[in-house]
């Protein structure tokens, strides 16, 4: 499985609002898992997304159900409800600290898009976060902002796409197949009564329609 033949088992943490989960999330996580030899990718559902004004469109229960169905059948994909279980807003630094404690032997990669990584300095305790976790930054375009911030954050370039932090963690930039789908696009299409077929897994499409999600 993948490139990591020996050493500690590698776990990916892929956080998101997943409102709803779509094929862009799924395919890029699959490619990252393959490239890094991840044993598991935990899709961590955000309860109160601090970056999105603290609100989501569908309820936690609906987003969880759609995520759970979308991941079914992929043995290395798993939903995680750790952020749902705690009170108040969810911060990545606390989530990573939680998994470091729960899986001290694992090598953890925090998976996120280059767009999100380029704004990392706005995240709570980002310096601590960078020293707690490796990052797998998904690149969907050639020129992306993520690359600009990396040296300002104190990383040293080891080789093409690989940067090392003084704390011992690393950032790996990975090109992924660009799939320009966003949850916003899916919600807008539903609102206008347009088809969302092939933008989300079939069971997620059926769930959205059956429960009348995102209509207004």
**Interface positions with ligand ATP (CB under 6 A):** 16-19, 24-25, 28, 112-113, 115-116, 138, 140, 179, 181-184
Report the nearest approach of ligand ATP to the CB of residue 83 (Å). Answer: 12
Length of the chain in terms of residues written: 216
Report the nearest approach of ligand ATP to the CB of residue 25 (Å). Answer: 5
Here the tokens at position 8 are: 């500690």
Distances (CA, A) of 87 to 42, 46, 82, 90, 125: 20, 12, 11, 8, 18
Place of tokens 């490239």: 35
| Beta carbon nearer to ligand ATP, 135 or 163 | 135
| Beta carbon nearer to ligand ATP, 43 or 155 | 43
Q: Is 41 left (phi over 0), alpha (psi -120 to 50) or beta?
A: beta
| Beta carbon nearer to ligand ATP, 60 or 115 | 115
| Beta carbon nearer to ligand ATP, 3 or 182 | 182
Report the nearest approach of ligand ATP to the CB of residue 81 (Å). Answer: 15
| Beta carbon nearer to ligand ATP, 6 or 122 | 122
Report the nearest approach of ligand ATP to the CB of residue 186 (Å). Answer: 8
Report the nearest approach of ligand ATP to the CB of residue 5 (Å). Answer: 27
The answer to whether the beta carbons of residues 31 and 177 sit under 8 Å apart is: yes
Q: What is the DSSP string of 113-137?
A: EHHHHTTGGGSTTHHHHHHH-EEEE
């Amino acid at each position: 499985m993948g490139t990591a033949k020996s050493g500690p088992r590698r776990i990916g943490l892929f956080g998101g609002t997943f409102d709803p989960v779509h094929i862009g999330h799924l395919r890029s996580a699959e490619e990252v898992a393959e490239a890094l030899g991840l044993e598991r990718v935990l899709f961590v559902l955000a309860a109160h997304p601090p970056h999105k004004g603290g609100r989501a469109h569908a309820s936690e229960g609906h987003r969880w159900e759609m995520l759970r169905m979308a991941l079914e059948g992929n043995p290395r994909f798993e939903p995680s409800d750790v952020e749902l279980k705690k009170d108040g807003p969810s911060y990545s630094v606390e989530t990573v600290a939680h998994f470091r404690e729960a899986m001290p032997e694992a090598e953890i990669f925090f998976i996120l898009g280059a767009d999100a990584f380029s704004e990392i300095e706005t995240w709570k305790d980002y310096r601590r976060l960078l020293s707690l976790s490796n990052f797998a930054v998904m690149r969907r375009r050639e020129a992306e902002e993520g690359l600009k911030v990396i040296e300002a954050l104190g990383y040293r370039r080891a080789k093409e796409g690989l940067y090392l932090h003084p704390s011992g963690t690393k950032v790996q930039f990975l090109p992924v197949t660009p799939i320009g789908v966003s949850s916003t696009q899916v919600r807008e299409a539903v609102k206008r009564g347009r088809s969302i077929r092939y933008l989300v897994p079939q069971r997620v499409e059926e769930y959205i329609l059956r429960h009348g999600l995102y209509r207004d």
